[in-house]
């Protein structure tokens, strides 16, 4: 067309924090707390709001006192939902602990930070009936490269109960075809664990790698974007878009289509078929075995088995 192409520009990276204390806090979250980049960005955003609140009164984190934190959280409670305010309060606790351990302040404020009460497991986990999970997988069009990728991704998540962050971190060297194993990594803790490569999953993965995954990509990640430059899927929102797309095709009507729905569905299914709680706790990567009680509430078949007859 006689028009010179614009120079290639890589994806924009988030600018590093402006102040040294925020840069050190971000490094602390990444290196010592094991938080993924998206969580670090969220926490920095929370602390940015706190610092803006302090600046209105002519203060910085150096002059911050407990009444300042209380006033900030009260203001947040007027603007945000309870869960969001509690999340911000958790970040504030993390930040003041960092300030204390790094020697920037000499008063421990963390234990005095009050946040809205969040009843544990107040709302049951959102899960689908296992028939809907099977319907979702059947609805994926595997005649295209994108369909092969989506089918392999969704099958792995529903079979092993993986979170989106675990699935998209899988790399080619993590698949041991000879031993029939997958080496996975927890995004938050960095802990690695090994899963058996089930024959059905291995067959679908092999088909995607042979006929679906772009050959000319510099990343070793298994699941990549289907457009130039074929980079790795980097966030759970990409997985959510894939899930929503195929759920719509499958005709699944539900109020919730988050990327964790397949993980919750797998947990409920495992309980229904009699998997031991200790084994399921290890598979899901929960530190506290009490977390499993949230899934028991959605294991409908098991609940039917223990239900009592209604007296006449």
Q: What is the pLDDT of residues 185-225, one digit of tens each?
A: 876 666 788 889 999 999 999 999 999 999 888 899 999 99
Same-domain status, 227 and 292: yes
Q: Give the domain CATH number at 51.
A: 1.10.150.130
The confidence score (pLDDT) of residue 301 equals 46
Give the structural domain span for 98: 20-112
pTM: 0.62
| Listed ranges 109-118, 175-184, 294-303; the one with the highest mean pLDDT | 175-184
Residue 94: is its pLDDT beyond 60?
yes
The confidence score (pLDDT) of residue 272 equals 58
Q: Where are the alpha helices (DSSP H) in the chain?
A: 20-31, 37-56, 66-79, 82-101, 130-139, 145-160, 164-168, 199-211, 236-250, 261-272, 277-284, 293-296, 300-306
At 252, the pLDDT band (50, 70, 90 cuts) reads confident
The confidence score (pLDDT) of residue 309 equals 44
Contact 265, 157 (CB under 8 A): no
Same-domain status, 76 and 195: no
Is residue 168 domain-resident? yes
Same-domain status, 291 and 161: yes
Is residue 195 domain-resident? yes
The confidence score (pLDDT) of residue 279 equals 52
Residue 87: is its pLDDT beyond 50?
yes
Specify the higher pLDDT residue, 272 or 152. Answer: 152
At 253, the pLDDT band (50, 70, 90 cuts) reads confident
Q: Give the domain CATH number at 144.
A: 1.10.443.10
Cis peptide bond N-terminal to 229, omega within 30: yes
Select from 117, 123, 104, 106 the least CA-distant residue to 77. 117
The confidence score (pLDDT) of residue 278 equals 60
The confidence score (pLDDT) of residue 15 equals 66
Mean pLDDT on 261-289: 62
Is residue 124 domain-resident? no
Same-domain status, 101 and 153: no
Is residue 35 domain-resident? yes
Q: What is d(CA 181, CA 202) in angstroms, rounded to the nearest whole number?
A: 9
Is residue 4 domain-resident? no
Domain termination residue (choose one: 45, 80, 112): 112
Signed CA dihedral, 211, 212, 217, 223: sign only: negative
The confidence score (pLDDT) of residue 289 equals 47
Is residue 9 domain-resident? no
Mean pLDDT on 298-312: 42
Question: What rounded mean pLDDT belongs to the chain?
Answer: 81
Specify the higher pLDDT residue, 300 or 193. Answer: 193
Share of the chain above pLDDT 70, in %: 77
The confidence score (pLDDT) of residue 276 equals 54
Largest CA distance in the chain: 85
Residue 127: is its pLDDT beyond 90?
no
pLDDT tens digit sequence for 225-236: 998 888 898 878
- Tally of domains within the chain: 2
The residues near 198 (Cβ < 8 Å, ≥ 6 apart) are 159
Same-domain status, 148 and 67: no
The confidence score (pLDDT) of residue 102 equals 93
Q: What is d(CA 162, CA 106) in angstroms, rounded to the nearest whole number?
A: 42
Same-domain status, 149 and 95: no
Select from 219, 253, 223 the least CA-distant residue to 239. 223
Same-domain status, 145 and 211: yes
Specify the higher pLDDT residue, 24 or 128. Answer: 24
The confidence score (pLDDT) of residue 162 equals 85
Is residue 179 domain-resident? yes
Write out the H or E segment, with its range, that includes residue 257: none
| 63 secondary structure, DSSP code | G
pLDDT tens digit sequence for 14-43: 666 778 999 999 999 988 887 878 889 999
Same-domain status, 187 and 227: yes
Same-domain status, 104 and 67: yes
Same-domain status, 107 and 139: no
Is residue 90 domain-resident? yes
């Amino acid at each position: 067309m006689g028009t010179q192409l614009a120079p290639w520009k890589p994806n924009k990276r988030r600018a590093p924090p402006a102040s040294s204390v925020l840069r050190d806090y971000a490094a602390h979250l990444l290196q010592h707390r094991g938080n993924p980049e998206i969580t670090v960005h969220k926490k920095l955003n929370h602390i940015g709001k706190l610092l803006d609140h302090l600046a209105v009164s002519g203060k910085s984190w150096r002059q911050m006192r407990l009444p300042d934190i209380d006033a900030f959280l009260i203001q947040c409670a007027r603007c945000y939902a309870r869960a969001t305010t509690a999340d911000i309060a958790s970040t504030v606790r993390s930040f003041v602990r960092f300030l204390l351990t790094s020697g920037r302040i000499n008063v421990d404020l963390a234990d005095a930070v009050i946040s809205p009460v969040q009843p544990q497991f107040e709302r049951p986990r959102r899960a689908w009936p296992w028939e809907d999970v099977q319907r979702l997988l059947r609805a994926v069009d595997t005649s295209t490269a994108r369909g092969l990728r989506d089918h392999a991704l969704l099958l792995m998540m529903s079979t092993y109960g993986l979170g989106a962050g675990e699935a998209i971190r899988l790399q080619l060297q993590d698949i041991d075809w000879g031993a029939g194993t997958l080496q996975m990594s927890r995004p938050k803790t960095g802990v690695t664990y090994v899963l058996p490569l089930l024959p059905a999953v291995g067959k679908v993965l092999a088909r995607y790698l042979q006929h679906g995954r772009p050959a000319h990509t510099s990343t070793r990640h298994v699941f990549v974007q289907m457009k130039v430059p074929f980079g790795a899927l980097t966030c759970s929102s990409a997985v959510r878009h894939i899930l929503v797309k195929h759920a719509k095709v499958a005709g699944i009507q539900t109020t919730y289509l988050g990327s964790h729905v397949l993980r919750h569905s797998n947990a409920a299914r495992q309980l229904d078929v009699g998997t031991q709680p200790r084994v399921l706790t290890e598979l899901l990567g929960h530190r506290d075995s009490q977390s499993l009680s949230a899934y028991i509430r959605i294991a409908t078949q098991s609940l039917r088995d223990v239900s009592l007859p209604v007296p006449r």
